[in-house]
Amino acid sequence: MKNPEPGYIITSTDDPPVLSGEGFSILLVEDNGDLRALLLQMLRRSGFRANGARNAVEMRDIMEGSHVDLLLLDVMLPGISGFEICREIRARSAVPIILLTALGEAHDRVIGLELGADDYIVKPPDSRELVARIRAVLRRRQRMSPEEQDARRDRAEFRGWLLDTRQRELTAPDGSRIELTSGEYDLLLAFVERPQRILSREQLLDIARGRALGGLERSVDAQISRLRSKLGGRGEEIIKTLRGAGYMLAAPVSWR
């Protein structure tokens, strides 16, 4: 695992949230595990729904299974570079893209913007500046006409259950509100954003890093057991155990 870039500036975990992300979904594509964890923690504390991917393959899987409001994309990725990913995304989607790179040359900034990126920020970014840039791009996005932007989806429905990702609320098929802990919500969100995909305990820990899972694989098992109980008598059918592989949300998910 690579170390974070020297001098990386991030708001202390003891500080109050920097700005409200208003529940927007941010996908961070960054191969540096430590830096990815720091950025995801900062984004989540700022009110964003933030998920991480290590490369283009993981990015595509997440984008196929869930709605993304903005892509925060590292340029220097192994295999397919951020520039190539930007070109690929722009050929089929208008999702906002902010390029994140250690390169500061004007030539690289021009390339990124010409490929369709909405903004470009050089690492190491100040956390407040990064959040402000994200909010500015999202504001410009909201001023577009409906024909110019993808529909915003905030509620995931599966087998009659409804997860409101803006309000962080789960509603049962009978209409009753189910109270979730932070860890249970984070796990359920990980599943509904990746339906019918096997997720190992290690992957679930990585997705929820910096949140309320305790950092141990056995804590994932305990959280899933409690989450199944809250999903009622068919909880084990909804979240299945794949022996030796991990867990899977067995139900299809529709977003609206």
In a domain, 68, yes or no: yes
In a domain, 137, yes or no: yes
Work out the percent of the chain whose per-residue pLDDT is above 90.
26
* pLDDT per position as a tens digit, 196-217: 888 888 878 766 543 444 445 5
Same domain, 136 and 160: no
Same domain, 135 and 173: no
Average pLDDT, the chain: 79
In a domain, 250, yes or no: yes
In a domain, 13, yes or no: no
In a domain, 17, yes or no: no
* Residue ending a domain, choose from 100, 117, 148: 148
Task: Read off the pTM.
Answer: 0.54
- Whether the pLDDT of residue 233 is over 80: the answer is yes
In a domain, 45, yes or no: yes
Same domain, 63 and 161: no
Q: From residue 22, how far is each of 34, 161, 181, 209, 223 by CA, in Å? A: 25, 23, 20, 21, 26
pLDDT band at 153 (very low <50, low <70, confident <90, very high): low
- Catalogue the long-range contacts made by 148-153 (C-beta closer than 8 Å, 24 or more residues apart): 148/94, 149/94, 150/67, 150/93, 150/94, 150/95, 152/67, 152/69, 153/67, 153/255, 153/256
Same domain, 115 and 226: no
Same domain, 110 and 130: yes
Count up the domains in the chain and report the number: 2
* Residue ending a domain, choose from 93, 114, 148: 148
In a domain, 164, yes or no: yes
* Residue ending a domain, choose from 124, 148, 172: 148
Same domain, 218 and 185: yes
Mean pLDDT for the stretch of residues 229-235: 89
Same domain, 95 and 202: no
Same domain, 76 and 173: no
CB proximity list for 176: less than 8 A, separation 6 or greater: none
**In this structure, what token pair is assigned to residue 212?**
């309320």
pLDDT score recorded for residue 206: 67
**CATH code assigned at 96:** 3.40.50.2300
Same domain, 175 and 127: no
Same domain, 166 and 232: yes
In a domain, 8, yes or no: no
pLDDT band at 230 (very low <50, low <70, confident <90, very high): very high
Range of the domain at 237: 155-255
**In this structure, what token pair is assigned to residue 110?**
């021009």
For the ranges 101-105, 170-174, 197-201, 220-224, the lowest mean pLDDT is seen at: 101-105
47 conformational bin, left if phi > 0, alpha if psi -120 to 50, beta if neither: left
Same domain, 115 and 228: no
Mean pLDDT for the stretch of residues 53-64: 90
Report whether 149 contacts 68 (CB < 8 A). Answer: no
Same domain, 39 and 95: yes
* pLDDT per position as a tens digit, 111-132: 777 778 888 888 877 888 888 8
Peptide bond into 124 cis (omega under 30): yes
**CATH code assigned at 204:** 1.10.10.10
* pLDDT per position as a tens digit, 1-30: 444 443 333 433 344 333 445 678 999 999
pLDDT score recorded for residue 216: 53
